[in-house]
Amino acid sequence: MDERAPNQKLPGPMDAPWLITFADLLSLMLTFFVLLYSMSEVKADAWRQVVQALSSRDAEIDSEVHVGPTSRDNVSTTAVEYATDLSYLESLLAEKITGEPLLAGARVERGEDRVVVSLPGAILFGAGEASVNDKVMSVAAVLSYVLRLVPNRIEIQGHTDPDPVSGAGAFASNWELSLARALAVENAFRRTGYRRPIGVLGLADSQFFRLPGNLPLEERYERARRVDVVVRADK
C-alpha cells in the first residue's frame, strides 16, 4: 500500500528548474571564453601588414633613428634660452651709451616690461630724411653688438613731432616718415649682425602726449623726433 499523501508529487526532472538555468549559464560562459580566445589569436599576415605600415611611416618622419644618448639629450650641453633680466640690460645699455660718443644724447629708460633706448633723430638723420647712412650704421653696430647676445624680443619704433611734414619732402605724412626711419634702423641692425626677429612700427606723433609736460616745448619737440629701440622682458 502506498503510504504517501494523495497530493504529494512523484520526483521527476522538472522538480529542479535551477538545473536548466545553470546549464544555460555554462553554455554562455563557454561561448564567452571561445570568443575571447578567437579575439586574442593574432593573425600573422594581418600583423605583418600593420608592422610594415608603421615602419614605412616612421621612415618618412625620420630616416635616422638614434638609439642611446645623444648630444641633444646631454643636459650639460643643452642650451636653454631665457630672457635676460631687464635691470641687468638697463645697466649694460646705459654703460655702453655713456662711453660711446656716437650715442651722445641717447637715453635709456626703464618701463614695467621693457627697456627703451631712445635715439634722437638728429644723431641719425638729416631733416626729413630716412635713408641708411654712416651714422645709422655706426649707431646700429654699437647696439646690435649688445642686443644680439641676449634673447629678449626687440622692437624699433619711429616717432615724429606734431608738425606736418613739408610738402616738398619725400614723405606724404609723419606716419610714412616715422615708419621709414624705423625700417632704416632695422635694416642697419640686420647689416651689422642682428639675426633675431625685429618688430618695426611707425608711430608718427601719436606718443607726443607721453613726453613730460614740464619740459620746454622746444625740448619736447626734440625728444619727439626719435627712434626707440624697445627691449621687451620676454623672448
| pLDDT per position as a tens digit, 11-56 | 555 556 666 777 777 777 777 676 666 665 555 565 566 556 555 5
Would you say the pTM of this structure is higher than 0.75?
no
User: Are 57 and 109 found together in one domain?
Assistant: no
Domain membership of residue 157 (yes or no) is yes
- CA separation for the pair 112, 232 (Å, rounded): 10
Say whether both 154 and 206 belong to one domain.
yes
Q: Domain check: are 162 and 223 in the same one?
A: yes
Check whether residue 41 and residue 145 sit in a common domain: no
Q: Whole-angstrom Cα distance, residue 223 to residue 106?
A: 10
pLDDT at 109 over 80: yes
In a domain, 10, yes or no: no
Is the pLDDT confidence value at 57 over 60?
Answer: no
Rg, the chain, Cα only: 40
Cα–Cα distance for residue pair 176/83, rounded to 1 Å? 32
Residue 4 forms part of a structural domain: no
Average pLDDT score, the chain: 81
30 occurs within a structural domain:
yes
For residue 42, give its domain range. 17-61
Q: What is the 3-state secondary structure (H, E, C) of the chain?
A: CCCCCCCCCCCCHHHCCHHHHHHHHHHHHHHHHHHHHHHHCCCHHHHHHHHHHHHHHHHHHCCCCCCCCCCCCCHHHCCCCCCCCHHHHHHHHHHHHHCCHHHCCCEEEECCCEEEEEEEHHHCCCCCCCCCCHHHHHHHHHHHHHHCCCCCCEEEEEECCCCCCCCCCCCCCHHHHHHHHHHHHHHHHHHCCCCCCEEEEECCCCCHHHCCCCCCHHHHHHHHCEEEEEEECCC
Number of domains composing the chain:
2
**CATH number for position 224:** 3.30.1330.60
Query: Residue 9 pLDDT > 70, yes or no?
Result: no
pLDDT at 71: 43
What pLDDT, on the 0 to 100 scale, is given for residue 28? 75
Report if residue 109 sits inside a domain: yes
Backbone CA torsion sign across 94, 195, 123, 174 = negative
Instruction: Look at residue 49 and tell me if it is in a domain.
Output: yes
Which amino acid appears at position 209 of this protein?
F
| 75 within some domain | no
Residue partners of 220: CB distance under 8 A and separation at least 6: 208, 211, 212
* 208 domain-assigned: yes
| pLDDT at position 62 | 45
C-alpha cell at 61: 618622419
Cell of 213: 609736460
Q: Are 192 and 141 in contact (CB under 8 A)?
A: yes
Phi, psi angles (nearest 5°) of residue 24: -65, -40
Q: Distance between CA atoms of 71 and 215, rounded to whole angstroms?
A: 57
As a whole number of angstroms, the distance between CA 227 and CA 140 comes to 11
Task: Give yes or no for residue 10 having a pLDDT over 90.
Answer: no
